Structure 1
Amino acid sequence: MPSLTGAVVLVTGANGGIGTHFVHEALARGAAKVYATARTPRTWDDERVVPLTLDVTDPTSIAALVEAAPDVTVLINNAGVAVATPGILTQTDEEIRSNVETNFLGPLFLARAYAPLLSGREGATIIDLHSALSWYAVNGIYSATKAALWSVTNSLRLELLPAGVHVIGVHVGWVDTAMAAHTTDPKLDPALLVAQVYDAMAAGEYEVLADDTSRQARAGLSAPLEAVYPRLAKTAE
C-alpha cells in the first residue's frame, strides 16, 4: 500500500485552507519533503517544506515545476477556483475559461507531466480533489469541470495501473475554508478531510466520499433524473 513514510509530496494550491492541511499532515505522517506550490508561494516554518511557484494554467510553469521537483512520489491536485453565481448561462467567458483551465486542464496536464517520473516509483500516488458537485450539476461550469476531472481520474487510474501508480479521487461538499465563507450550510473541517484522504491512501482505496453530501450525490447516480433534480418532475406534471 502507498505510504507517506519517507514520501516526497507535491501539493498544488498549498496556500489555501485545504492545501495547508495537506502539507502539515503529510509531514506529521512521515513525509520526507513537501513541495508547497502556489502562484505566489509563501514561507513555511519547516525546512522540509519547499515552496515553489506554480500556475497550473501555464504549460511553461508546469514544465519548470517538473524540472525543479523531479523526485515527487505523491502528487496532490488540490488547486481550484470557484464561481460567483451558479448559472452556466450567466457565467462570464472569463469564469468559464478560468474554471476549465484551473479545475480540469491543470490537474490533467500535471498528471501527464509527472506520469513518466511516477511510473515504477515506490509509493507513487496521484490524488485529485473533485467535489460532490461532480455528480450534481447545480453550479454551472464549476460542476462541469469537476465532472470532467472525475472522468479524467478514472482514465488515469486505469492507464497508470500497469505502472504501479495509485490514483485516488476525492469528493466532498462544503469545506470550512475561505471559498465557503458565503454559505451557512454545514461545512467539513479541512483537517478531517485531509485525514480521510491520507487514511484512504494508506488503505489502498481509490475513492474518498468525505461527507454525507458526497455520499448522497454518489448514490444519486443510479437514481432517475427526476429524483436527483426534483424540478424536472414538477415540469413534467
Structure 2
Amino acid sequence: MACATRPCLRRESGASIEGSIVLITGANRGIGKALVDAFLKHGAKKIYAAVRDITRYRAFSNEENDETIIPVYIDLSKPDSIAAAAELSQDVTIVINNAGVLSKTSALDGNAVEALKSDMDVNVYGLMAMAQAYAPILKTNVARGSKTAFVQLNSVASFGPAFRCSGKDFATYSATKAAAYSITRALAQELAPHDVRVLSVHPGPVRTEMLPERLHALAEAPSAVAEEVIRALADGTPLHVFPDPHSKQLATIMRPFLTKVVEGGDVYNQGK
C-alpha cells in the first residue's frame, strides 16, 4: 500500500520535563509507579496519578500529602471514567498511557476468545478512548505554547512471534499489543501536523506483578524503563523507544525498517 502523503516523524526538539504537567495511567505499581517517581525526580510541576482505586492508592502511597501528585480515577475499560478524568486535567502536557492487562492464554485454550475480548477492552479500546479524550487537550496546549506528548506503553510482543516476542501462552496479550502498536502508529501520523509527539514504548521483560516469577531474573527494573521514557521525551526521539537490553536487541533487527518506512515515510510499492 502506498502512503505518499504521510508526514515523516523526524527527531524534534525535546519536551522539557521540568515544569511539565503529566498524567500517568496505572500509576499505583510497576512501571506506572516508577514513572511517577521519575517525573518527580526530574522536576514535573504536577502529576495526575490515574488509578482504578483512589482510596487504596492514597492509603498505600508515600506521596499522599504531596500536592504535586493528584490521584484521579481512570479504568481503561470504562470510557466514562476517561472522559471524566480529562475534564479534571485540561492543563496536562504529557499523557502516558501505561495501564494494561495480560492474560496468559494460548489461542487454543477454551477461554481464549473471552480473554482476548477482555484484553482488547483495556489494551486497545482503552488506548483509543484515552487518545480521543486527550488529543484535543494536547492540541489546545500546543496552541498555548506548550510542548506536548502522548506516550503509549506497548511491548516487544507488539512485533509478534516472528521475533520470539510472544510465546503460545501469551497469544491474546500479544495480539492486543500488536493492535495497540498499530493504533499508536496511526496516532503519530494524525497528531504530527498538530505538533503533538507520540511515543511507542516497547519494553522487554520488566519486573512487575504482570511478569511470571520465573522470568524476573532476566527482567529489567521498572525504574530503568521510566528513565528511558524520560530520556526519549527530553531528546526528541521520533516514535519508537526500546528501553531495556532485551528490547534493544530487537531494535537492531527492526530499526532499519522502522526508521526508513514507519518514521521516515518511505513508500512501499508492490511489485517493484
| Distance in 1 (alpha carbons) for counterparts of 2:223 and 2:43 | 17
Task: Report if aligned partners of 2:104, 2:173 keep a CA contact under 8 Å in 1.
Answer: no
Written as runs of structure 1 = structure 2, the 5 A alignment for 1:139-158 is 139-158=170-189
Task: Report if aligned partners of 2:104, 2:171 keep a CA contact under 8 Å in 1.
Answer: no
Unaligned runs of 5+ residues in structure 1 are: 223-237
TM-score when normalising by structure 1: 0.88
Q: What amino acid maps onto 1:158 in structure 2? A: Q
Unaligned runs of 5+ residues in structure 2 are: 1-13, 256-272
| Distance in 1 (alpha carbons) for counterparts of 2:214 and 2:131 | 32
**SS of alignment partner, residue 70 of structure 1:** coil
Instruction: Report the equivalent of 1:79.
Output: 99
Q: What amino acid maps onto 2:206 in structure 1? A: V
Give the percent of matched residue pairs that are identical in Structure 1 and Structure 2. 38
Instruction: Report the equivalent of 2:139.
Output: 119
Residue of structure 2 aligned with 1:159, choices 181, 186, 190: 190
Q: What amino acid maps onto 1:9 in structure 2? A: V
Q: What amino acid maps onto 1:112 in structure 2? A: Q
Task: Report if aligned partners of 1:135, 1:217 keep a CA contact under 8 Å in 2.
Answer: no
Question: Is 1:88 equivalent to 2:107 in the alignment?
Answer: yes
Deviations 1:152-180 (CA, angstroms, capped at 9, x unpaired): 11111111011110111101111011111
Alpha carbon RMSD of aligned pairs, Å?
A: 1.7
Instruction: Report the equivalent of 1:231.
Output: none
Q: What amino acid maps onto 1:101 in structure 2? A: D
Deviating more after overlay: 68-77 vs 176-185: 176-185
- What displacement does 1:93 show? 3.7
Deviations 1:73-129 (CA, angstroms, capped at 9, x unpaired): 1000100000133x1231444321111011111112101111111015212101100
Q: How many residues align?
A: 221
Instruction: Report the equivalent of 1:211.
Output: 244
Residue of structure 1 aligned with 2:77, choices 25, 39, 57: 57
| Distance in 2 (alpha carbons) for counterparts of 1:176 and 1:96 | 23
| Distance in 1 (alpha carbons) for counterparts of 2:107 and 2:46 | 40
Question: Is 1:176 equivalent to 2:218 in the alignment?
Answer: no
Task: Report if aligned partners of 1:135, 1:218 keep a CA contact under 8 Å in 2.
Answer: no
**SS of alignment partner, residue 214 of structure 2:** coil
| Distance in 2 (alpha carbons) for counterparts of 1:112 and 1:220 | 32
Deviations 1:6-46 (CA, angstroms, capped at 9, x unpaired): 11100000112111111111111111100001111211422
| Distance in 1 (alpha carbons) for counterparts of 2:192 and 2:73 | 30
| Distance in 2 (alpha carbons) for counterparts of 1:124 and 1:88 | 39
| Distance in 2 (alpha carbons) for counterparts of 1:54 and 1:129 | 16
- What displacement does 1:211 show? 2.5
TM-score when normalising by structure 2: 0.77
Task: Report if aligned partners of 2:116, 2:176 keep a CA contact under 8 Å in 1.
Answer: no
Q: What amino acid maps onto 2:176 in structure 1? A: T
Task: Report if aligned partners of 2:34, 2:223 keep a CA contact under 8 Å in 1.
Answer: yes
- What displacement does 1:220 show? 5.0
Q: What amino acid maps onto 2:226 in structure 1? A: V
Superposed structure 1 runs of 4+ greater than 4 Å apart: 218-222
Change (3 A) 1:136 1:183: farther
Q: Which has the higher contact order (CA 8 A, sep 6+)?
A: 2
- What displacement does 1:197 show? 0.9
